């Protein structure tokens, strides 16, 4: 059959108007899987992170649930009063002098003599019987620590006075011992009280300011922070802040600017860059690990809700103009064509991000904490925020890094 002759272009147009490829089995399944992945990006990674976090929290929970019992035990042990130790009283030479000897010697016996001399004087006249008496007296004195025994009938007035003085000295000694023990006990108390204090305040609240930078622009944000201490080393942090992000992306080959072809030179406009200014609410949730007393590190994600968005396109407009030059000497005028280009920025009504919420950013940071007046904490925390999910698909580069300055109390 002869094929009717046609002009090539006409034939091509007719051919492609009706052209369809044959469907390849499996394309729909691949497409729907891709859609599922886009709906739940990093789903597998999220499951792994959730499993690790669950393990950490469960271990911490069980370890924390055992700790209060131990502390109670410590408290109980500490609370028991320390009894003063009983020690042997030294013999101070208080003796009962038999009436005869006492009568003989008179009241002045004790007036100027030392207890040892008095003991020798009392022992000298009566050796055998008096020794026995002395022994029994010594034994009774050592046995009765708290209750000094006064035998006023047997002991003369001078002896009574001395006994009183020596008894009070013994009491003072006893009190001294108990004072020492008391002080020892008191010195140990503040540690437990401090521990109790620390246990009581697990929450931290604060305010923060964070200057941040995208690829080309400087931005700023600020807000409130909070943290809950899970253990000495771990804490969960969160907060809410208002962020302003400016970002832009270049469109078009910058290197080709000088190699402009005739066609491009004649074209009216060329899009060179797209810029956007976004204000959004950022709600982070992260895990903080305390490296030591001053340094810590943190990782988490943040929820991002765009409140306002302003976009603008920057164009390079070129125009051909005729210029004429007059030669002052010859009076001749020359005209020539020149290409003039200028940069023009126009606002774009499109706001594809505005009003939408995204999960959002991965946040990583390392910080240093400094305590102030034992009450406040100042934190300096360099951070980086990496966009994930739909935010990473945007043509704008929203990855930013900066410095968080926090004051917490």
Partner 1 sequence: MFEEIIAGLSTRDDRVQERIYIQYWGYLMGVATRYFKDRNIAREVVNDSFIKAFKTMYDFRHNNDIIEFQKSFKSWLAKITVRTALDKLRANKTLLNYVEDYEEVKVDHVEVEQKLLVEDIMKLFYGLPDLHRTVFNLYEIEGYSHDEIAGMLSIPVSSSRTYLTRAKFKLRELYMKSIEIN
Residues near partner 1, by CB under 8 A: 3, 5-9, 11-13, 15-17, 19-24, 27-28, 31-32, 34-35, 251-253, 256, 259, 261, 263-264, 266-271, 395
H helices present in 151-254, as ranges: 157-200
Question: Is the CB of residue 399 less than 8 Å from the CB of residue 214?
Answer: yes
What single string gives the DSSP state of each residue in 163-183? HHHHHHHHHHHHHHHHHHHHH
Closest to partner 1 by CB, 24 or 83? 24
Q: Is 351 left (phi over 0), alpha (psi -120 to 50) or beta?
A: beta
Closest to partner 1 by CB, 1 or 83? 1
Closest to partner 1 by CB, 28 or 54? 28
Closest to partner 1 by CB, 215 or 231? 215
User: Can you tell me the distance from the alpha carbon of 30 to that of 73, in angstroms, rounded to the nearest whole number?
Assistant: 63
Closest to partner 1 by CB, 31 or 46? 31
CB of residue 322 to partner 1, shortest distance in Å: 18
Closest to partner 1 by CB, 30 or 299? 30
Tokens, residue 209: 């300011």
For residue 96, the SS3 value is coil
How far out from the chain centre does Cα 58 lie?
Answer: 20
User: Can you tell me the distance from the alpha carbon of 79 to that of 184, in angstroms, rounded to the nearest whole number?
Assistant: 13
CB of residue 385 to partner 1, shortest distance in Å: 25
Residues composing the chain? 409
CB of residue 230 to partner 1, shortest distance in Å: 42
DSSP β-bridge partners for residue 385: 363, 400
Task: Give the angle subtended at the CA of 379 by the CAs of 374 and 384, to the nearest 5°.
Answer: 165
CB of residue 255 to partner 1, shortest distance in Å: 11
CB of residue 8 to partner 1, shortest distance in Å: 4
In terms of Cα–Cα distance, which of 286, 282, 281 is closest to 227? Answer: 286
CB of residue 244 to partner 1, shortest distance in Å: 27
CB of residue 10 to partner 1, shortest distance in Å: 9
User: DSSP secondary-structure letter at 86?
Assistant: P
H/E element holding 129? helix 128-143
Question: Is the CB of residue 354 less than 8 Å from the CB of residue 330?
Answer: no
Closest to partner 1 by CB, 32 or 142? 32
CB of residue 270 to partner 1, shortest distance in Å: 7
Closest to partner 1 by CB, 23 or 62? 23
CB of residue 347 to partner 1, shortest distance in Å: 17
Closest to partner 1 by CB, 216 or 269? 269
User: DSSP secondary-structure letter at 41?
Assistant: T
User: Can you tell me the distance from the alpha carbon of 271 to that of 268, in angstroms, rounded to the nearest whole number?
Assistant: 10
Tokens, residue 195: 């521990």
């Amino acid at each position: 059959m002869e094929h009717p002759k046609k002009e090539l272009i006409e034939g091509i147009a007719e051919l492609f108007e009706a052209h369809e490829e044959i469907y390849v089995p499996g394309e729909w399944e691949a497409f729907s899987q891709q859609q599922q992945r886009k709906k739940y990006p990093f789903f597998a990674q999220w499951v792994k992170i959730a499993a690790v976090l669950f393990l950490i929290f469960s271990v911490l929970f069980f370890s924390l649930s055992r700790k209060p019992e131990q502390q109670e035990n410590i408290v109980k042990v500490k609370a028991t009063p320390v009894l003063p130790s009983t020690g042997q009283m030294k013999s101070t030479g208080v003796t009962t002098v038999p009436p005869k000897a006492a009568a003989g010697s008179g009241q002045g016996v004790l007036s100027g003599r030392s207890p040892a001399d008095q003991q020798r004087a009392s022992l000298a006249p009566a050796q055998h019987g008096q020794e026995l008496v002395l022994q029994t007296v010594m034994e009774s004195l050592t046995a009765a620590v708290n209750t000094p025994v006064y035998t006023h009938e047997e002991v003369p007035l001078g002896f009574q006075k001395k006994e009183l003085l020596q008894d009070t000295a013994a009491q003072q000694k006893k009190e001294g011992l108990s004072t020492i023990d008391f002080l020892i006990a008191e010195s140990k108390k503040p540690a437990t009280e401090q521990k109790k204090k620390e246990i009581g305040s697990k929450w931290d609240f604060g305010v923060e300011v964070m200057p941040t930078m995208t690829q080309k622009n400087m931005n700023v944000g600020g807000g409130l922070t909070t943290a809950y201490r899970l253990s000495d080393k771990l804490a969960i942090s969160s907060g809410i802040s208002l962020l302003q992000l400016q970002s832009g992306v270049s469109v078009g080959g910058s290197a080709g600017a000088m190699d402009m072809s005739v066609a491009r030179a004649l074209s009216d406009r060329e899009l060179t860059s797209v810029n956007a200014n976004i204000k959004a609410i950022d709600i982070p949730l992260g895990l903080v690990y305390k490296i030591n007393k001053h340094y810590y590190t943190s990782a988490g994600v943040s929820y991002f809700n765009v409140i306002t968005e302003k976009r603008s396109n920057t164009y390079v407009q070129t125009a051909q103009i005729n210029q004429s030059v007059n030669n002052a000497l010859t009076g001749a005028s020359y005209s020539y064509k020149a290409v003039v280009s200028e940069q023009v920025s126009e606002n774009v009504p499109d706001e594809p991000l505005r009003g939408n919420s995204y999960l959002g950013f991965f946040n990583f940071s390392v910080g240093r904490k400094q305590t102030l007046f034992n009450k406040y904490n100042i934190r300096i925390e360099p951070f980086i925020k990496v966009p994930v999910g739909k935010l990473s698909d945007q043509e704008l580069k929203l990855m930013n890094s900066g410095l968080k300055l926090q004051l917490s109390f």
